[in-house]
Structure 1
Amino acid sequence: MKKTALLFLISLILIVAGCKTQNGYSPGSDAGYATGKVLDTRGNPISDAKIMATNTLCANTHLVGTTDANGNYKIKIPAGVWKMSAEIDRTYYGHQFQLSLHPDHPEVFTGQDGVICNFEWRLYGPKVGQTDRFYGGEVKISKSKKSRINDLENIVFTFIPVSPRIDGSAGQPETITCGPRGTQDYARFPDLPIGQYRISARYRPTGQRIYLRNNAGGTYLADGSVTAGFSGNKKSDSCINCMTLEFRD
């Protein structure tokens, strides 16, 4: 009987030790701290990533930490309700980019409980809880005054990578169209992996070539294509991490 009771007690201790709270925290593993690991697109640790804990009742209250050489971080969290976020800075083709990282624990937590929140670098896809914001860069399309085409959704754009993307990986060609007038995707591609691309376009109803140029002041080439990249996050830029193109027929 005593042996049975002892085995039951041991089993109960093991179950409790292995349980996690709704906040993702394992009891007894650094309560009152935010801890986790940051990985790049290949699953390798990222050092010097900026980690932030934001008080949900006072948006101006932030606790900031950085990851070590192994991609780990640990931040002491006081009482209150908090939410985690992270970002990295990268230089790509002379432009500075501030990139948000994807959390595996986007929910709020209390300082008393603490939280285990890991982050990963994603090149594209919607940000957590934000269906209209993305990890990729935005391409904006404008029309030349000389163009007679008004149905932009019938222009087929092809983006061919001409160099490794911002994370060093090789990209794949993308053939895409924008949404029709009146939709949030009209005259834009909101989520393209940040890279350098050779871009060409055709008008789908007739197959005719569409001529493109960089809207920041480029010229139209004879073959209609243009090589362009993303702007980065300078405060002087009209948009963050975006590319602007103009077309004419």
Structure 2
Amino acid sequence: MKKTIFLLTLPLFLFVAGCKTQNGYAPGSDAGYAVGKVLDMRGNPIPDAVISATSTLSDHKRLVGTTDTNGNYRIKIPAGAWKMSAELERIYHGRRFQLMLHPDHPEVFTGQDGVVCNFEWRLYGPKANQPNQYYGGEVKITQNESSQITDIENIAFTFTPISPRIDGSTAQPETVHCGPRGTDEFARFPDIPIGQYKITALYQPSGQRIYLRNNTGGAYSTDGSVVAEFNGTAPASSRINGMILEFKEQN
């Protein structure tokens, strides 16, 4: 493992970043180094993000650095083919979350040329080069044995944030539907921003209220709503950054 050498001045970083092409790579701009900046979705710099350069020949050959107080990083890269990744750890409502960051240059590069690779902390959206993987948390929907509903996709679930999300941002309520049976999104929402929510549900064909509870522990409330949040990245957890809800028609 080699120590990260941080950029000494912001103007130097801006000069390097200004040389990059549309895909984030600037041959010769800083040969032999991986450099870049980490921001959140509002453009704020993120210190202490963990940046990794991994050899394409061996996942065990990895160089690691961290961002400075301005969100910048700089890592010396030896010869060979490499790819960049980054992650961030956050404690949210007492739970630990390990979060992947989005690269603007996910392609392989050579250590001889170096790379400019910036990262963004995204709360939702598909992960780079990882099919069917998302930056948000997964909500799994289960059905109480007393429920008679067969078309779960016709239940409208409304997620209303009741506190700032994991990055400190606020958001408006969002109503979503899961996919029909036989699809990858049946009985699940794979990409909900990590946060704490009051969740309500309505069976749209009849307008009937649906009652919800946290399936990892909790009771049904009289108004059908449930306050729930994601479980984080606990080592013993069977569902990383996930949430499980159970529903029924009658309380």
TM-score (norm 1): 0.90
Q: Is the CA contact 1:23–1:113 (under 8 Å) kept in the aligned structure 2? A: no
Could you tell me how far 1:21 is from its partner in structure 2? 11
Deviations 1:147-202 (A, max 9, x none): 11121111111111101111111111111110000000000000011111100101
Q: Is the CA contact 1:25–1:31 (under 8 Å) kept in the aligned structure 2? A: no
Q: Is the CA contact 1:213–1:245 (under 8 Å) kept in the aligned structure 2? A: yes
The gaps in structure 1 that reach 5 residues or longer are 1-17
**Which residue in 2 is equivalent to 1:108?**
108
Q: Is the CA contact 2:137–2:190 (under 8 Å) kept in the aligned structure 1? A: yes
Q: 1:53-202, aligned counterparts within 5 Å?
A: 53-202=53-202
Give the match's secondary structure for 2:42.
Answer: coil
The gaps in structure 2 that reach 5 residues or longer are 1-18
Could you tell me how far 1:144 is from its partner in structure 2? 0.6
Could you tell me how far 1:131 is from its partner in structure 2? 3.2
Stretch deviating more after TM superposition (181-190 or 129-138): 129-138
CA distance in 2, matches of 1:153, 1:19: 44
**Which residue in 2 is equivalent to 1:25?**
26
Could you tell me how far 1:24 is from its partner in structure 2? 1.1
Distance 1:207 1:221, change over 3 A: same
**Which residue in 1 is equivalent to 2:41?**
41
Aligned residues: 232
Could you tell me how far 1:20 is from its partner in structure 2? 5.7
Residue type matched to 1:56 in 2?
A: T
Identity between Structure 1 and Structure 2 (%): 66
CA distance in 1, matches of 2:124, 2:180: 22
Give the match's secondary structure for 2:131.
Answer: strand
Q: Is the CA contact 1:38–1:45 (under 8 Å) kept in the aligned structure 2? A: yes
CA distance in 2, matches of 1:140, 1:19: 41
Give the match's secondary structure for 2:169.
Answer: coil
Residue type matched to 2:77 in 1?
A: I
CA distance in 2, matches of 1:20, 1:110: 16
Distance 1:182 1:46, change over 3 A: same
Could you tell me how far 1:26 is from its partner in structure 2? 4.4
Residue type matched to 2:203 in 1?
A: Y
CA distance in 1, matches of 2:53, 2:33: 10
TM-score (norm 2): 0.89
Q: Is the CA contact 2:104–2:118 (under 8 Å) kept in the aligned structure 1? A: yes
CA distance in 2, matches of 1:102, 1:239: 22
CA distance in 1, matches of 2:245, 2:198: 12
Residue type matched to 2:91 in 1?
A: T
Q: Is the CA contact 1:99–1:135 (under 8 Å) kept in the aligned structure 2? A: yes
Could you tell me how far 1:33 is from its partner in structure 2? 0.6
Q: Is the CA contact 2:23–2:105 (under 8 Å) kept in the aligned structure 1? A: no
CA distance in 2, matches of 1:209, 1:173: 18
Could you tell me how far 1:23 is from its partner in structure 2? 7.0
CA distance in 1, matches of 2:243, 2:237: 11
Q: Is the CA contact 2:20–2:116 (under 8 Å) kept in the aligned structure 1? A: no
Moved over 2 A (4+): 18-23
Structure number, greater radius of gyration? 1
Residue type matched to 1:81 in 2?
A: A
CA distance in 2, matches of 1:93, 1:21: 38
CA distance in 1, matches of 2:23, 2:136: 30
Q: Is the CA contact 2:24–2:117 (under 8 Å) kept in the aligned structure 1? A: no
Distance 1:112 1:119, change over 3 A: same
